[in-house]
Structure 1
Amino acid sequence: MAEKKKAGAFDIRIVIAALIGIYGVVLTILGLVQSQPEVDKAAGININLWGGIGMLVFTALFVLWARLRPIAVPVEEESSEQ
């Protein structure tokens, strides 16, 4: 039976979560500091704030998924043939 190793940082879910998390933080900060006329353009909804919060929730779910169900990669044994 081959040994298995966790993918860890090379798991694509972590990469996707990091990218969406960065955008989520930027949008959340922008939503908190933007002026009222910008909010009025979006029918009174602070779309940057709500979009950023949604992205942060999505990031948390992706990280939770990666932690609870990690990808197991089989480890190949090196042969000593020359």
Structure 2
Amino acid sequence: MSDKTTSAGAADGRHTAGAFDIRNFIGALLGLYGLILTLMGLFGEKSLDKTGGINANLYAGIALLVVSAAFVAWARLKPIVVPEHIEPPDDDPTRPAPKRRQGGH
């Protein structure tokens, strides 16, 4: 891996989304559900007669943990680069929001 990849764009002076990347939120949520299902599969009531002899909670939990790790790895390896400067849009007369004042706040 090069310096650019490991520092997530900091070597170029570019800013990344970091913790606010949606892939981190999705990965964390899937990881939480996966952890709960894995623990329920290991320690909870198994009800194997309802699932055809398969511990569905355990397998679904492990699958969610794998997908969660993939989302987090994807966010780390290919971070979203945030542009340095974004120009605000011009006032739209059809927009219901208040108009911007000329020359300041």
TM interval, short-chain normalised: 0.7 to 0.9
Indicate yes or no: 2:71 matched with 1:62: yes
TM-score (structure 2 length as normaliser):
0.66
Q: Tell me, which stretches of 5 or more residues in structure 2 are unaligned?
A: 1-12, 87-102
For 2:38 and 2:21, the matched residues in 1 are separated by 26
- Which residue of 2 is the match for residue 52 of structure 1? 61
1:37-74 CA distances to partner (integer Å, 9 max, x unpaired)? x1221000000000000000000111111111000001
Structure 1 or 2: more helix by fraction = 1
* Higher Rg of the two aligned structures: 2
Q: Tell me, which stretches of 5 or more residues in structure 1 are unaligned?
A: none
CA shift, 1:35, in A, is 2.9
Aligned residue pairs, count: 76
Counterpart mapping for 1:64-79 below 5 A: 64-76=73-85
Identity of aligned residues (%): 51
Higher relative contact order (CA 8 A, sep 6+): 1
Q: Pairwise CA RMSD of aligned residues? A: 1.8
* Runs of 4+ more than 4 Å apart: none
| Structure 1 residue corresponding to 2:49, chosen from 37, 40, 43 | 40
For 1:39 and 1:59, the matched residues in 2 are separated by 26
TM-score (structure 1 length as normaliser):
0.84
